[in-house]
Structure 1
Amino acid sequence: MSPRFVYLAWGRPQRPRANLIQTLHTVEALAALGAGVRLYLPPVPAGFDTGGFLAGMGIRRPIDLRPVESLHRRWGGWPFALLHLGELRRAGVVYTRVPELSRVLARLGIRHWLEVHETDTLDARGQLPALRTALARGTLRGLVAISEAGRAALLRAGIEAARVHVLPSGVDLTAFAAVPALTEADLRAPRALYVGRISRDRGLPLLEHLAAAGVPLTLVGPRDHEPAATHAQLELRPAVAHAAVPAELARGALALMPYQADLRHAASISPIKLFEAMAAGRLVIASDLPPLREIVRDGVNGLLVPPDDPAAWLGAIGRVRKDPAAALAMAEAGRQTASAYGWDARARRLLALSAGAPASAAEAA
């Protein structure tokens, strides 16, 4: 029997990144709602431990996951689409976040949705004209941005406002609510954390500056770049399975999000780690970029700082130390903010969107 909801992804289980975390948790939440969802992924190596992989990604419910050779990136999506043409045409909803797959689906007349994460990349690769054509023909039912900033960028690119919707990333509220709550003592002399991919465009030089200035700091994640020097206050820890991230967040009080303006997707980002840190009750200090400003309100549920101003970051940490009671209140407000971004809420909004309801306040206005 054909599934009602077919999700097509190019994330590789053997090399998981944030895009696959979002995909898997969205699919798990859709399945929990009874959506009849099937997820297709590229092939995995022989003997790959799919069950262990899903557990490591924090997936606790059964999902219909199907890695297939025909969806290998090298084929560009055509073999898969042709082999599964009947299933795709019968499905109530076909959904992908891969522009190349969207183009194949449009060429075959398969109605579908495309989730857009990197608006600048679409423009740089010249993919926007094809999307506009597919929207006009109705083969592309709509675009789903992950932030209002991303939606605004698509509107500036000439996409009709009624065809662009917003659906931010989410968080496993149950897993991250289990992180022990902070106390004022934790914030009086806080340890700062960065959990995620470590690179210069994600603020590595700034993080080094903080450690050199005496801020106790732990970086957890895969490293695209290495620190320029060793620092007594800087602890480097390897990447952990996504299911272990709550335990890593429990090791500190401040969650730093020093995304730089030259990060490829800085203009439209909706970082999972932001929602996770807030749901864990950690005080978020983040770069003052438009997409992050949609979630973090400076001085209310976190602190916003110019991305490339080390003195301002040190000042924000000093502000926490000086008034730990106010910092604790901001952390708790952040936890309340995150409560609206559970994966189940995202799945409900996605189902409502595919049924024709608006997905953002801007669309409903």
Structure 2
Amino acid sequence: MHPQSPQALVYVGRSRLHRNRANLIQALHVAEGFRNIGLPMRMYLPPAEGCDVRRVLEDFGVSPDLDIRPTQWLHTRFRLWPFFLRFRRELRAARSVFTPLPQVSGILAALGIPHVLEIHDAERDLIAKGMLDTVISAHRKGVLTRLLPVSRGAERLLLDSGADPARVTVAPNGVELGAYQALPAFDPARLAAPRLVYLGTLERKRGIEVFGAAAAAGLGQVTLIGNKAPGYTPPPGVVVLPFVPHHEVPGWYGRTDIVLLPYPKDIATADSMSPMKLFEALAAGRPIVASNLPVLRELLTHEENALLVDADDADAWLAAIRRLQADPRLAATLAGNARELASRFTWEKRAADIARACGWLPAA
């Protein structure tokens, strides 16, 4: 049993600890970020089925001592109201409740419990599920005390829909810089035969055809790492490795010479995402080639810290790789500027920025 922590922050989510999903990894780093700045956070999550929670947290690269309280009432097989009936007292006693789920926000608002809502996918979570009006109404009434979109794109949607701009704070995702500090420095000499590594689910809708095209063109050593989606067939000429624990991800960036971030234009989160892969690539200090999407341009500047290309133009991706090979000085500049930019996006800084905006810490 964990001791009760009056005035702790409380996180409510439905990500399951035994699944390696980006939203879970982000949630754990959020909690650790707040803890590291002196704001303890209790996390209510669904049960971890058949796994050692401490080992799972270590695999995710976060402290195994995070205050996680699994409860069956957050499992997706149940509706949410039983959870709130069981834990209403704890939620009311919290300094604030923090959630990335509009459905949770709706119930908290109905119960009059002050809370903060983090917005990751405005299109899918707010519009497609019919939650936008409910969220904006709760925000204007004040029970939803602050909206935290992770991108300017999501912020624009909220403001255009009537959110109070004084209580909207853009909070992009972050990265654990310490995990990347020991990586070998970018070596321009390796550009003659660069190593290209993809980490994530292996399926076509993620734009990874670019890696197959690079392999077919003889532009580098291509490695795809992750679980294969049903029906996915890796292209010839690439090495395919199984999923690796998240704490091993930095090491694979250390074995990468050029980072490709080929997000498709039609990806569901294209207008509002803040992908953790982007921050990991920045922290790795490697030259980046990324899709020229508005949401990525919020951080990336063409020829300053990345090369931006048309997401759907395979030839443009290959031309960008060849350009870096032909211009090692440009590649080194992009790599250095990327690493410098990453220093602005630690999880602790993100937590502190949010805490000050919410009044949980004094202004800097």
Question: Do 1:77 and 1:101's aligned partners in 2 also have CA atoms closer than 8 Å?
Answer: yes
Question: What is the aligned partner in structure 1 of residue 91 from structure 2?
Answer: 88
Q: Which residue of 2 aligns with 1:104?
A: 107
TM-score, reference length from structure 1: 0.93
CA distance in 2, matches of 1:168, 1:40: 23
User: Cα distance, 1:92 vs. partner?
Assistant: 1.1
Q: Is the 8 A contact 2:206 2:262 kept in 1?
A: yes
Long gaps (5+) in structure 1: 360-365
Q: Give the 3 Å change call, closer, same or farther, for CA 184–202 of structure 1 in structure 2.
A: same
Aligned residues: 357
Cα distance change on mapping 1:96 and 1:285 into 2, 3 Å? same
Other-structure match for 2:23: 19
Q: Write out per-residue CA displacement over residues 212-234 of structure 1, whole angstroms, 9 at most, x where no aligned residue.
A: 222322222223365556322x1
Partner of 1:363 in structure 2? Answer: none
* 1:16 to partner: Cα distance: 2.4
Residue 285 of structure 1 corresponds to: 289
One-letter amino acid matched to 1:151? E
Q: CA deviation at 1:308?
A: 0.3
**Cα gap change, 1:180 to 1:229, in 2 (>3 Å):** closer
Matched, 1:351 2:346: no
Q: Is the 8 A contact 2:204 2:232 kept in 1?
A: no
1:52 aligns with 2:55: yes
**Structure 1 position 303, deviation (Å):** 1.1
Tell me how large the CA RMSD over aligned residues is: 1.9
Correspondence for 1:156 among 157, 160, 185: 160
Alignment partner, residue 308 of structure 2: 304
What is the match of residue 146 of structure 1? 150
Query: Where does residue 75 of structure 1 map in the other structure?
Result: 78
- Contact 2:140/2:164 (CA < 8 Å) preserved in 1? no
Task: After TM superposition, give the deviation of residue 347 of structure 1 in Å.
Answer: 1.1
CA contact (8 A) 1:3 1:38 kept: no
Structure 1 residues 337 and 226: CA distance shift in structure 2, 3 A? farther
Query: Corresponding residue for 1:230?
Result: 235
In 2: Cα distance, 1:50 partner to 1:23 partner:
15
What is the aligned partner in structure 2 of residue 131 from structure 1?
Answer: 135
Q: Which moved more, 1:314-323 or 1:216-225?
A: 216-225
Aligned residue number for residue 273 of structure 2: 269
Are the equivalent residues in 1 in contact too, given 2:54–2:65 (CA < 8 A)? Answer: no
Q: Establish whether residue 187 from structure 1 lines up as the match of residue 191 from structure 2.
A: yes
One-letter amino acid of the structure 1 residue matched with residue 265 of structure 2: A
Could you tell me which of 172, 178, 182 is aligned with 1:178? 182
d(CA) in 2 for partners of 1:227 and 1:83?
A: 43
SS in 2 for 1:165: coil
Q: Quote the offset at 1:197 in angstroms.
A: 2.5
Partner of 2:325: 321
Change (3 A) 1:187 1:323: same
- How far is the alpha carbon of 1:155 from its aligned partner? 2.3
- Aligned: 1:334 with 2:305: no
For the Cα contact (< 8 Å) 2:193–2:219, is it kept in 1?
no
**CA separation of 1:356 and 1:45: change in aligned 2, threshold 3 A:** closer
Percentage identity across aligned positions?
Answer: 40
For 1:264 and 1:311, locate their aligned partners in 2 and report how far apart those are by CA, in whole Å.
24
Q: TM-score normalized by structure 2?
A: 0.93
Contact 1:76/1:101 (8 A) holds in 2: no
Structure 2 vs 1, CA of residues 307 and 113 (structure 1 numbering), >3 Å: closer, same or farther? same
Structure 2 residues not aligned, in runs of 5+:
none
**What is the alpha-carbon distance in structure 2 between the residues aligned to residue 66 and residue 38 of structure 1?**
7
Query: Is 2:216 the counterpart of 1:220?
Result: no
- Structure 1 residue 106, shift from structure 2 partner: 1.1
Q: C-alpha deviations, 1:334-354, integer Å up to 9, x for none?
A: 000001111111111121122
CA contact 2:136–2:158 (8 Å) conserved in 1: no
Aligned residues of 1:93 and 1:354 also touching (Cα < 8 A): no
- TM-superposed CA distance for 1:134, in Å, is 1.1
Deviation at 1:274, TM superposition (A): 0.9
Q: Is the 8 A contact 1:28 1:62 kept in 2?
A: no
Three-state SS of the structure 2 residue aligned to 1:304 is strand
Compared CA separation, residues 91 and 282, structure 1 to 2 (3 A): same
User: What SS does the aligned partner of 2:343 have?
Assistant: helix
Residue-by-residue CA offset, 1:67-116 (whole Å, 9 max, x unaligned): 11122222232112111111111111110001111111111111101101
Could you tell which deviates more after superposition, 212-221 or 222-231?
A: 222-231
What is the CA deviation profile of residues 202-260 of structure 1, one whole-angstrom value per residue up to 9, with x for unaligned ones?
A: 2023332222222322222223365556322x122211110000111122211111000
